[in-house]
Amino acid sequence: MSIILSLETSCDESAAALVSNEKGRIELLANEIASQIEEHARWGGVVPEIASRRHLENLPFLIEQVFVKSKLNIKDIDAVAATVTPGLAGSLLVGSITARTIANLNQIPFLGVHHLEGHLSSIYLAENHPTPPFLVLLVSGGHTELIKVDADHKYQRLGRSHDDAAGEAFDKVARLLGLSYPGGPAIQKIAKFGDPKRFLFPKGRVSKPEGGFYPYDFSFSGLKTAVFRQIEKLKSDNQKLPSEDIAASFENVVAEVLVERSLRCVIDQGLNSLVLVGGVAANKRLRKMMLEKASQKSINITLAPMEFCTDNAAMIGAAALFRLSSKNNKSSIELGVSARWPLEKSDLLYDFPPPF
């Protein structure tokens, strides 16, 4: 059995967790998160300098809390993990330096984890999780991707957004409607009272240079623009803004696009298992539509537990446990952080010398 202390500070959530792999399954021993949403909401989005400062303030207390709740101490852990890419560089540094310091002082391995690999691994925190190969729809604030996970836990990206991620589109449309940040929960809250069929917003597609369209790719910037134009038209006609109907119609078309292209991809790949992870995966309309449409096509759907959809350290620990039990089981203590790094190159985070 291995016990890992894991840290997540890639954006605006400070988090620490203790996880173990007793009896071949991942067990969550303690999990703590300090959210910064209210502070950043004043500015309508994440302010990097504020986020870094709060991580610095919060992390020591979160680490102390997970040890108190688990009744363990620092000598009981076998490794320390932290998110090192992608994310806000200043925020990543706080978690990375903390983890490397703990590892160095206690002479235990340090593992630098790719944030998206953490999201993919959040599904293993579910009670009845699938085994690879399967397709993952990862939808979060900064990422909308379709990723195939093979039996050796190798990753192949089959689809992506070419502009705004789904989460970013939610934030921007919420701002157009005068709603609070973050946009996903705000839109979901009023959309349940609206008519999802009142406005027919476009399902953005991405053209190929040689003609035709990328079948599994996404584009949400045109959708955002269509919502903006609809709002401006209503205002110019001096009509009362039907915010609930606009929110419901927007939310519905985002869910339809995500579901349709995900199911097409999983069928084309000859797979029968589809996994939904990431912050936007907590959206109730998306979850309901995905389950209904997949059932019609006899596709097995596994949804990440709601508490592990948004950024958390438990998912980073889950990813680190898989790495610890593989040949890529330790990162260099000199591994830095990177705002961007492709998931397909996540194995390089365990190379000596490190890639950054």
Q: Is the peptide bond before 215 cis (omega within 30 degrees of 0)?
A: no
Token pair of 219, please?
């584009």
Question: Could you state, in chain order, the average pLDDT of each consecutive group of 10 residues for the chain (356 residues)?
Answer: 96 97 88 92 90 97 98 97 98 98 98 97 92 95 94 93 94 96 96 97 95 96 97 96 98 98 98 96 97 97 95 97 88 98 96 96
3-class SS at 262? helix
Give domain limits for the chain: 3-121+309-350, 132-303
Q: Residue type at 43?
A: W
Give the CA distances from residue 183 to residues 143, 219, 255, 277, in Å, rounded to whole numbers and listed in that order.
Answer: 15, 18, 15, 18
Helix axes 221-236, 243-268, angle to 10 degrees: 160
Scanning the structure block, which residue is given the tokens 């309901």? 288
CB of 84 closer than 8 Å to CB of 241: no
210 exposure class (CB count in 10 Å sphere: 0-12, 13-18, 19+): exposed
Question: Which pLDDT belongs to residue 43?
Answer: 87
CATH number for domain 132-303, candidates 3.40.50.970, 3.90.700.10, 3.30.420.40, 2.30.30.90: 3.30.420.40
- Whether the model clears a pTM of 0.85, i.e. scores above it, the answer is yes
Question: Which pLDDT belongs to residue 128?
Answer: 87
Question: Which pLDDT belongs to residue 45?
Answer: 86
Question: Which pLDDT belongs to residue 118?
Answer: 97
Give Cβ neighbours of residue 77 (< 8 Å, ≥ 6 apart). 3, 4, 5, 18, 106, 108
Nearest to 102 by CA among 16, 11, 10, 14: 16
329 exposure class (CB count in 10 Å sphere: 0-12, 13-18, 19+): middle
Question: Which pLDDT belongs to residue 78?
Answer: 97
Q: How far apart are CA 172 and CA 142, in angstroms?
A: 13
Give the CA distances from residue 268 to residues 135, 157, 215, 265, 271, in Å, rounded to whole numbers and listed in that order.
Answer: 11, 14, 10, 5, 8
Question: Which pLDDT belongs to residue 202?
Answer: 96
Contacts for 96-101: CB closer than 8 Å, 24+ residues apart: 96/335, 96/336, 96/337, 98/7, 98/59, 98/63, 99/5, 99/7, 100/333, 100/335
Domains 3-121+309-350 and 132-303 share a fold: yes
Q: How far apart are CA 306 and CA 322, in angstroms?
A: 22
Domain 3-121+309-350 - what CATH class? alpha beta
Question: Which pLDDT belongs to residue 255?
Answer: 98
CB of 173 closer than 8 Å to CB of 225: no
Largest CA distance in the chain: 68
